[in-house]
Amino acid sequence: MTVPEYEELAEVYDRWTASNDYESWCDYIQRRIPPSAQVLDACCGTGTMMRLLQSRGFSVAGVDGSAAMLGRAASSLEPGTLLWQQDLSRPGAPPTTFDALICCFDSVNYFVADDGLDALFSFAAGAVRPGGRFLFDVNTEHKLAEIFGNSHYGDDLGQFAYVWRNRYDPDQRRVQFLISLFIEGDGAYHRHEIHHVQRWFPHDTLLSAAAAHGFDLVEVCDDYSDRPVGIGTLRETWVLTRR
Query: What CATH number has the domain spanning 142-198?
Result: 2.20.25.110
pLDDT of residue 29: 98
Residue 85, number of CB atoms within 10 A of its CB: 12
What is the signed CA dihedral for 209, 6, 197, 221, rounded to 10 degrees? Answer: 50
- Whether the pLDDT of residue 2 is over 80: the answer is no
Q: Taking the domains of the chain in order of start, what are their residue ranges? A: 9-139+201-242, 142-198
Query: What CATH number has the domain spanning 9-139+201-242?
Result: 3.40.50.150
How confident is the model over 56-82, as pLDDT tens digits? Answer: 999 999 999 999 999 999 999 999 999
Q: Which residues of 152-164 are buried (b: 16+ CB within 10 A; e: fewer)?
A: eeeeeeeebbbeb
What proportion of the chain, given as a percentage, has pLDDT over 90?
94
Do domains 9-139+201-242 and 142-198 share one topology? The answer is no
Q: Which residues of 205-216 are buried (b: 16+ CB within 10 A; e: fewer)?
A: ebbebbeebebe
Nearest to 66 by CA among 121, 11, 126, 1: 11
Look over the chain and give the mean of its residue pLDDT values, rounded to a whole number. 95
Supply the pTM of this predicted model: 0.96
DSSP string, 75-87: TTSPTT-EEEE--
Q: Residue 8's pLDDT band (boundaries 50, 70, 90)?
A: confident
Nearest to 214 by CA among 77, 113, 95, 118: 118
- Whether the pLDDT of residue 196 is over 60: the answer is yes
Number of Cα atoms under 13 Å in the Cβ half of residue 25: 24
Termini Cα distance of the chain = 46
Nearest to 89 by CA among 63, 106, 125, 65: 65
- Whether the pLDDT of residue 4 is over 90: the answer is no
